[in-house]
Amino acid sequence: MVKAFIHKISNYQTEKISLAAGIISAASFTSFLLGLVRDRLLSGAFGVGDSLDVYYTAFRIPDFVALVLMMGAISVAIIPIFTQNLVEDKSKAFKYLSNFLNVATILMIVVCGILFIFAPNFIKLIAPGFNPAKKETTVMLTRIMFLSPILLGISNIISAALMVFKRFLITSLAPIVYNIGSIVGIIFFVPMWGIAGLAWGIVLGALLHLVIQIPSFLSIGFTYQPSFNFLEKDFLQTVKLTIPRAIGLTAAQVNFIIITAIGSTLLVGSVTMFNWANDLSAPIVGLVAIPFATAVFPALSLAITKNNRDEFLQQFYLAFRQILFLIIPASALAFVLRAHLVRIVFGTSYVDWTQTRLTAACFGIFMFALFAQGLVYLVSKAFYAMKNTFIPLAVSLVSIVVLPALAYYFVHAFRASNVFADVIASALKVQDIAHFQILALPLAISIDAVIQIVFLLLFLRLFFKEIRYGHMVPFLLKVLVATAGMVIISYGVRQVFGGFLGSTTFMVMFIQTVVVSLIAAPTYVGAAWLLRLPEINTITYFINRLTGVKTGEKV
């Protein structure tokens, strides 16, 4: 029975676009929940301190290698080239895939081997504030984790091929088992091997990510060929297509490495608290901005292909408005409930209330610029639809200069009492905490995101002079008014419940969060309806676009 079940999952093909989108969305949400379980287990096992600072820092370089060298290639190069070869000849396609697997694996082993040797030098760069003992432990974890990019590299190449064959179910399960592997590391490996168990849990997750896909990969007819041609035409074409995307991803990862380096010089636990706040904010963008940007991308591309500028602008306006319509109230409500959310996800006996407040303050700062982070995805897609990858890349590269400058400035500003530091601390209710320089990190990232979206919108205006951003002002004012009404009601309900219950335990804060959210949502929808915001009626439209329903596509 188990064998039959595994065979069914491995060979399940998703023919309909709507079903594929549903599977991917459900799997992403499940993976997100498991990620929260993992983070809570980490906080329960280690708390905020040296151990998790070391773990998050050690994870940074292997994650950088996996994302930049492999994910960039797969997202823009492997699938179209493999598909093209598959149309011509299946054996040719598998020959290309074998060669790419072999060469890419060799390159990954060489790169990770070099980084393994020079890991102490890199750790000195990204964690200058760590003492010698923390640096040594970080190097040890980093070296173990260098197995992960190799396994994930192979696995993601296989995922690309399986997606071409519509095996979306099995590829969607891979990230889930990856998180399960890291959870196994926390529960079982840490008691046996100490903090090294965290690194081996990551390796186990990467191995499971690969192993779960192998049966399905073999079932599509793949036959391995020992080809190692570094000069093969399709391999070189893949590399060529990869470079711009890889550079863009490098910029984003370099920024996080810089932030980690700065965080290592601050209060112990700063790296951990920053990562927790970032992890908690990412799903809002992932569940609102990314789906809409992804859904509208084909329509933008089609409009450009047909040279229909009016259609392009119509679709762009709709997506732009819808993202703001959803992400502004979502981030505002999250700001009101920031301490509750942090306590629910990360609050254990090892995490005290001061650490919760600092993490919540970081999370709160992220919320103010979440709209900018969301719109960056949409505007970048608009440029990609025009086959212009240079502008988003250039803006990303400028960010590498702007972000560290902002971070260093704010860290310096927060070290002494001044009007700016006092206002920020008071607004986020951490004025009684002696060292709150960690707030400089999310503040720098948030301002950098606003700068990025401003430049992207200005450049888009150069290509589409018909764009009238002024048309958005009345809409934006209505969204802000509706959001303000929701915030007032939500804050009042939160305070009333806080007065009655007066506790920071998990269950009390969970109940408060649920009650406030259940009141906030209809309050915002009602206010939007009274203000006659048409996005109330277009939510269904965009959901249909995301799933492929009623778009003229076969679903």
The pLDDT tens digits for 66-101 are: 877 666 556 556 777 777 778 788 888 888 889 989
- Which positions ≥6 away from 299 have C-beta within 8 Å? 311, 315, 545
Query: Could you tell me if 259 and 366 are in contact, meaning their C-beta atoms sit under 8 angstroms apart?
Result: no
DSSP 217: H
The answer to whether residue 108 sits within a structural domain is yes
Distances (CA, A) of 205 to 162, 185, 196: 19, 9, 14
Instruction: Say if residues 267 and 514 touch (Cβ distance below 8 Å).
Output: no
Q: For residue 189, is it within any domain?
A: yes
CB contact at 8 A, 411 and 261: no
Please give the Cα distance from 392 to 383 (Å, whole number). Answer: 7
Instruction: Tell me which amino acid residue 384 is.
Output: Y
| Domain limits for position 163 | 1-264
pLDDT in tens, 131-183: 999 999 999 999 999 999 999 989 988 888 887 787 778 888 888 999 999 99
Is residue 376 assigned to a domain? no
pLDDT string in tens for the chain (555-residue length): 545 555 555 556 655 544 554 566 567 678 777 887 888 888 888 877 788 889 989 988 898 888 776 665 565 567 777 777 787 888 888 888 899 899 989 989 999 999 999 999 999 988 888 899 999 999 999 999 999 999 998 998 888 888 778 777 888 888 899 999 999 999 999 999 999 999 999 999 999 999 999 988 888 888 788 888 888 888 888 777 677 667 777 777 788 888 888 888 888 888 889 988 988 888 788 777 776 776 676 677 778 777 888 888 888 888 899 889 989 999 999 999 998 999 888 877 677 888 889 999 999 999 999 999 999 988 988 887 787 778 888 888 888 889 999 999 999 999 888 898 889 989 898 888 878 899 999 999 999 999 999 999 999 998 888 888 888 899 999 999 999 999 999 999 888 876 555 566 777 888 889 999 999 999 998 999 899 888 776 554 444 544 454 444 443
> Is 106:228 a contact under the CB 8 Å cutoff?
yes
Residues 78, 81, 87, 91, CA torsion sign? negative
What 3-state class would DSSP assign to 7? helix
> Pick from 519, 514, 510: which is nearest to 490 by CA?
519
DSSP 552: S
Residues 6+ apart with CB under 8 A from 149: 62, 65, 66, 69, 70, 108, 112, 206
| Residue 121 included in any domain | yes
**What one-character-per-residue DSSP string does 293-305 give?**
HHHHHHHHHHHHH
Domain for residue 238, yes or no? yes
* pTM score of the predicted model: 0.75
Do the domain assignments include residue 125? yes
Residues found in the chain = 555
Structural domain includes residue 26? yes
342, two tokens: 């942090």
Cα dihedral sign for 268, 269, 275, 278? negative
Q: Does residue 143 lie within any of the structural domains?
A: yes
Count of domains observed in the chain = 1
